[in-house]
């Protein structure tokens, strides 16, 4: 198993285990997961359904706590943070892209992109300039004032991605971002994220079993039954 050591490590998991108590049956979603992710990586976590991809992503994003083990993100043990501290941590450090585009239906595309910046209390003029710039980047400037229901699935996901990027987080965690997209939209979205990764230097981690995403990734971590089976770094 190779690891990345030439760049600063920003995510570090040690012996992570997660057990879900579903009714009377305990389900081991993750076991002994040791993972280090460096700044600026474009990593895919792959594996079949139920292999623990989303659980690992949720733990890295501070949405869930491991049953045992430690998780350090940007130098902080996030499992020890209080609920409100963790929300703040996510707000300022992590951008999420979900499988279901999760745009707020009553806000326009531009307002959706501005939403997280609004929570971060970024000045209005800066917020507007950034949102319009990003919408232009992804070819949606003319759709800035329309609501999500008037956008196609691919367009909605692009808005969801730039919403995650807009606040300049250190990490983007994307859970099956291309699952509901056709090939053209998926390719378009992946190109855009790769470009953002290059230009903005953000760390991207995907959970996916979409081969198109896997092909684009520069590192592929394979999970099976909650265990890391392989960790492949591509040149």
Widest distance between CA atoms in the chain: 54
Residues 76-95 touching other proteins, rule: CB under 8 A, are: 83-84, 87-88, 90-92, 95
Q: Is 61 in the site for other proteins (CB under 8 A)?
A: yes
The single residue among 10, 78, 116, 228 that binds other proteins, judged by CB under 8 A, is: 116
Nearer to other proteins, 146 or 187 (CB): 146
How many whole angstroms separate alpha carbon 97 and alpha carbon 159? 10
The single residue among 115, 171, 204, 206 that binds other proteins, judged by CB under 8 A, is: 115
With contact defined as beta carbons under 8 Å apart, do 11 and 4 qualify? Answer: no
How many whole angstroms separate alpha carbon 187 and alpha carbon 131? 22
With contact defined as beta carbons under 8 Å apart, do 81 and 35 qualify? Answer: no
Point out which span in 26-34, 69-77, 102-110, 196-204 binds other proteins (CB under 8 A): 102-110
CB of 166 to other proteins, least distance (A): 11
Q: Is 102 in the site for other proteins (CB under 8 A)?
A: yes
Specify which residues 206 forms β-bridges with: 44, 174
What b-and-e string marks burial along 118-132, b requiring 16 or more CB atoms within 10 Å of the CB?
eeeebeeeebbebbe
Q: Where are the beta strands (DSSP E) in 118-169?
A: none
CB of 177 to other proteins, least distance (A): 14
Point out which span in 11-19, 60-68, 181-189, 207-215 binds other proteins (CB under 8 A): 60-68
- Give the rounded distance of the alpha carbon of 64 from its chain centre: 14
CB of 230 to other proteins, least distance (A): 26
Residue ranges in contact with other proteins by CB under 8 A: 58, 61, 63-64, 83-84, 87-88, 90-92, 95-96, 98, 100, 102, 104-107, 115-116, 119-120, 163-164
């Amino acid at each position: 198993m190779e690891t990345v050591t030439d760049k600063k490590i920003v995510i570090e998991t040690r012996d992570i285990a997660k057990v879900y108590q579903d009714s009377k049956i305990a389900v081991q979603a993750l076991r002994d997961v040791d993972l280090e992710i460096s700044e600026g990586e474009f990593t895919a976590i792959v594996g079949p359904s139920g292999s623990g991809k989303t659980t690992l992503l949720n733990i890295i994003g501070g949405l869930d706590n491991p049953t045992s083990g430690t998780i350090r993100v940007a130098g902080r043990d996030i499992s020890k943070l209080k609920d409100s501290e963790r929300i703040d941590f996510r707000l300022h450090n992590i951008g999420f892209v979900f499988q279901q585009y999760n745009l707020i239906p009553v806000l326009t595309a531009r307002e959706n992109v501005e939403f997280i910046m609004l929570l971060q209390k970024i000045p209005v003029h800066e917020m507007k300039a950034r949102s319009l710039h990003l919408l232009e980047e992804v070819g949606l400037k003319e759709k800035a004032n329309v609501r999500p229901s008037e956008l196609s699935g691919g367009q909605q996901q692009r808005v969801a991605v730039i919403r995650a990027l807009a606040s300049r987080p250190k990490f983007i965690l994307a859970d099956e971002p291309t699952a509901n997209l056709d090939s053209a939209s998926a390719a378009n979205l992946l190109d855009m994220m790769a470009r953002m990764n290059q230009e903005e230097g953000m760390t991207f981690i995907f959970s996916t079993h979409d081969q198109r995403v896997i092909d684009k990734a520069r590192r592929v971590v394979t999970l099976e039954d909650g265990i890391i089976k392989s960790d492949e770094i591509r040149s």
